[in-house]
Amino acid sequence: MDNYQLIEQIGEGSFGRVYKGRRKYTGQIVAMKFIPKRGKNKREIRNLRQEITILKSLNHENIIMMLDSFESDKEFCVVMEHAQGDLYEILESDGKLPEDVVKSIAKQLVRALHYLHSHRIIHRDMKPQNILIAPDGIVKLCDFGFARCMSNNTMVVTSIKGTPLYMAPELVQEQPYNRTADLWSLGVILYELHTGVPPFNTKNFYTLIQKIINNPVKYPKSISKEFKSFLEGLLNKEPKKRLDWPDLAEHEFVRETDDDRQMREKNHARSLNRKRINWFHTMVNGKEGVHHLPVPDITKFPYNGGNPPAQANADADGKASESAFGSDESISRLYDMYIVKKLDIGGMMGNQDDFTSIATFIRTSTKRLKPRRNGAGGVEGTPEVPNIKKALHLLKKALVHIQQTNSHYANVVFESNAISHMIQAVHDMMRCDSVDACKEISDTLKVIGEALKCSQKAQTASDHVSLLVPRVFTIVNDLVTYRHDAKHSVKLNTLKCLSYAFIHMNMTPTANTKLFKECMESNVVESVVSCMNVDALRGASNSGALSESTRHKLLSSTVKCLAELTHPMSGETVGLPTLSRKNRPQASLHLNYKHDKMRELTGRLLASNPQRFHLLCDIFRGSNDADSLRALRVIFQSARFSSAFSERLATLENLKFMVPHLINRKKAPTKVELIHMVCALMFEYTPQVIQPILGNIDNLLISVIDNFCSTTNVVLQCCILQILSRLARYSADINTRVMDYFMQSESFTVCIKLLKKVNFSKIAEEDKPRIEGTGYADSGYLDGMIFLFAEFSNILNEEFVRKFFESGTWGALRNYLLTLDTHSEISILGLQAVHKLIFKLADFIPHYNEKILCDDTLVQDFFIPCIREATIQQFSKWPESRNGGMRGVSGLVERVVNVLFLGFTSPSSSQNVQKFLFKQDVVRHVLSSLQYISQNTYDKPLSFLSRLVFKSPHFAVQFVKFASPMLIQKLLHEDNPPSLLIEILVIISQLARIKSDHYSYIAECRIGEQICKLLKHDDPGVRSKTCNLVGNMCRHNDDFYRDLIDYSILDELIARCRDIDPTTRKFACFAIGNAGFHNNSLYPQLQASIAPLIELLSDEEEKTRANAAGALGNLVRNSDELCDSLISSGAVDRLMDTLSDRGPNARKIALFSLGNFCVHAQCRRVLEGRSFRRVIQRLEAECRDDTIKKYIDRINRKMGDQ
């Protein structure tokens, strides 16, 4: 502070006070921001220091430069450029700006934001007040009080800061966000600059939030097409669809022309203020210039490894210096300084120009490589560019320094394009085809490997590496087969480079799908695996056998490379989907997941060659623990994804003795866990492995269960349970033995402890990658336990069930299920197994049925969440290769429904279960699940819904509320399986039967056309249920009478009266009867039904005869227009004959229908002529049925009234 003098306070905010100040002994005016330490913890202060360090390195003409910083016990002080006039003041004065002025401002802001985002910095408080305009028109972005620097592992931040008026929707909703939040703010600012007001503007805070989230942006007609397109791209409410780099920089509204670039560079070079700042740095730092993060090419984001940006030294007039980069002299100078004189290599890394010199030299020099011919014989000699070694030595020393000091200067290495040029140099040197070039190739690969190794320390290196790795892939095959590589040094360093490339790929495997694809297309795996060929392990160029040391290195490097590819030990692990509403999957899920294909390919290639396979097994059985573990990682993933490898593993000699040996080996935790998982995989995918060990199965089971009870390694316990569950699945005999040994030991107690005390979320974070590698998880920690109990449920006995409940195991499992909210404990298959276990337990003894299904908390917090749409969505997005997707969801929904079905089997519990399921909106959840499951698995959910709708009209109301008409139309499509059609027909028929209020919903579904088609369906069950549906649709009123004509349903119904299926005939009569019940509007069309109805009065089934009699009676219920046809067809005689029917129901309905006939004179005359009075008198005398007597009284009244 002694070097500055405060002039006046010019601002104050939540982050501190801002003063105008002056550097003492100079005329340099600065802005000084004081940030208090009070209220900040140690971590926040440490982060602030780191952030200041990074922001201090920013150097861009459109960003206010941080000149200096220091701190006291109470506060930090940041010294910055001082500028006057911001956009807010201009808006206050001028109201709005012309589009061409806005475009000029936009181009500069785009450059500033691109610079920040390229270095993983989010501004987070973009607003007009933070955008300054200098007198020369240059725009400067300022006030990084809210800025956040993004590391490679935390691309998204979640804390909310900034001005609500300019906030992106994801910010105001307190959702995770990334750099695109700045781009939304940019759109709001540009919109306001041109129109004078922001797109969403209100004084009410909460109204503003709702507008930002929900309201569309309204664009004025005055703006150009290009400007509107640009704003629409920025102001997209979905961050992923928002205009982003590199497309943003290439948009026609802000694309920088050659004229723009030349003018910008000229103004920048001549900027008096920039010269003052450079001079000021000289005063502060005691040397001219400091290191700043480089200005990237705005058209490349991330950078594509092309030519480095122009970094030529400029003199005071802005003219380029004549000294060219990349000359032999420049390399010699640097080598003399940092290698010979041993100056601190950090000095070189502080100067971008030095790295540019090295990069340019390597690229241009290797282009000139030609073998030198010595003597007449044309013997090849050393390539004529000796300084290549010096350049490589410099880079290697710099990279070692970066690794040792954890320096962020690794960014500089990649941004200088040195590594890109070195890859091209390798290509050029191989083209040289020289024996002596082999050493330079090997050394260059060694440096590339070191660079890839330290790339994780660089904030922006990850993007560079993603672009460089494919270029490495393209030359791998040429490198591992290089004919001059007699000592295998090229091959060894190629494998080393690939190891680090694979580590990079697996850090974020879900985001590096493209790299995995390019790896496969370049045949990289084949090239790596070929290094294990026996021929490859002999000397190249007929030089004889390798030394044991070189052979070991080559095998070790190959296995390490394959291990990093198939089973990385660190990187992104995508947690399992969870039932919790709070937790969500940890990454965006890419269903087209290439990593599994890489693992399958690796296993297939290893299995295809017995020599490679046995070499891998030999390395695993070897004495080198590091190599043994790597080999085990490859074996595990190969067996996991390659059936060919698993089958090959099953044929391994002496497997009978090897498996128990593997399981009981006392090794490091990681190794013993993986050994158990390999065995579990073998038992699952190649069960023939179990056959050789059956003779010793009892000893094996005792040993394994003893290990389970005695170890304190909970991860190992989970792995052991995986083995036991696979063994139990092999046969009922082994299942019974496992259960017996399990019950005789302390296993239940250990399981309870495992369920009660283990912090699985912590284990998942620290240990999960060690078990399965990075990427999508395959199984949960507790899957083994659940699978084992589920296998036990196939052979349940009372002793096991009693011990399971009385030991407290069920209670511990229940309590655990109620708090299941981490991403590592139970997979989708595990959840299915839980429901299978519960179903079997509840079905075994009624007492336990009520104990489980009357547990409201369990139903509410476990069963229902399993089919809640939010959960189902997670599972549906999970890869099918990990038992997710449609297949996994289908299995889960079916299991849950099976358990819930049991709630209706016990009369004592059914009522309570129904009430609770209704409160939980179970109908809604089951219906919503249908859109995520396979259509051929709809039967069980629809059957459950049918049961609910039949049980209570309340469920029917829920069904009408949540089942969309489109869903009903889809379900009623004639191509669906008959079982599915029958279930949905039953449900809709029940809705129609319950009450007429549901008719409007059924009408909204517009199913007339489907009904007509289903009446002709090949399946008799479908035809009969469709007839029943039509009957119920006409039960309460005539709402659907018009549809029966419009869709030709009535004609098909009449045809169904002669159907070969007796049930269809029965319901066809029922439907026709209701079609004539409410009025006579359909009588003309129903005339054709008279003959088949009369025929059905002789049907074998009494209910059909009764329905036919009732239908004939309804044909005269509303008018006499069909009386003549009925009489002439003999309907009256046939109904009188039915009065003697052997079935009481048929007699009753026939009698009632004859009562309808009595209303009409022509019918009465016929009846009188048939001695009808005498017939009913005799019937009345013989019958004691009150209903028949009531019907006879009705007839007598009608006959007597006439």
Binding residues for ATP: 33
Which of 98, 56, 76 has its CA nearest to residue 15? 76
Total residue length of the chain: 1202
Which of 474, 626, 645 has its CA nearest to residue 559? 626
How far apart are alpha carbons 662 and 1121 in whole angstroms?
91
- CA distances for 884 relative to 680, 865, 871, angstroms: 21, 16, 12
Q: CB of 985 within 8 A of CB of 1025?
A: yes
Q: CB of 114 within 8 A of CB of 72?
A: no
How far apart are alpha carbons 468 and 452 in whole angstroms?
10
How far apart are alpha carbons 43 and 60 in whole angstroms?
29
The set of residues, in sequence order, having a beta carbon less than 8 Å from that of 449 and lying 6+ positions away, is 493, 496, 497, 499, 500
Task: Detail the DSSP E strand segments found in 282-426.
Answer: 373-374, 379-380
- CA distances for 470 relative to 505, 522, 601, 1139, angstroms: 11, 9, 19, 90
Which of 846, 841, 843 has its CA nearest to residue 810? 841
Query: Which SS3 state, helix, strand or coil, does residue 154 take?
Result: coil
Helices (H), 455-523: 461-480, 489-507, 513-521
How far apart are alpha carbons 1010 and 1014 in whole angstroms?
6
Which of 55, 216, 72 has its CA nearest to residue 147? 55
What region, left, alpha or beta, does residue 149 occupy, with left being phi > 0 and alpha being psi -120 to 50 degrees? Answer: beta
Exposed e or buried b for every residue in 967-1002, given b needs 16+ CB within 10 A?
bbebbbeeebebbbbbbbbbbbbbbbbbeeebbebb
Residue 946 tokens read as 């049918």
Residue ranges for the binding site?
33
How far apart are alpha carbons 249 and 828 in whole angstroms?
43
How far apart are alpha carbons 810 and 744 in whole angstroms?
18
Which of 707, 697, 648, 645 has its CA nearest to residue 676? 707
How far apart are alpha carbons 1114 and 1110 in whole angstroms?
6
Q: Using the structure block, give the residue that is written with the tokens 């940890």.
A: 586
Q: 148-149 and 373-374 as β-strands: parallel, antiparallel, unpaired?
A: unpaired
Q: CB of 191 within 8 A of CB of 223?
A: no
Q: CB of 847 within 8 A of CB of 609?
A: no
Write the DSSP symbol of residue 508: S
How far apart are alpha carbons 911 and 924 in whole angstroms?
19
Q: CB of 339 within 8 A of CB of 396?
A: no
Rg (CA), the chain: 41
How far apart are alpha carbons 148 and 124 in whole angstroms?
7
How far apart are alpha carbons 321 and 319 in whole angstroms?
6
Residue type, 134: A
- CA distances for 895 relative to 214, 746, 793, 832, angstroms: 39, 30, 14, 6
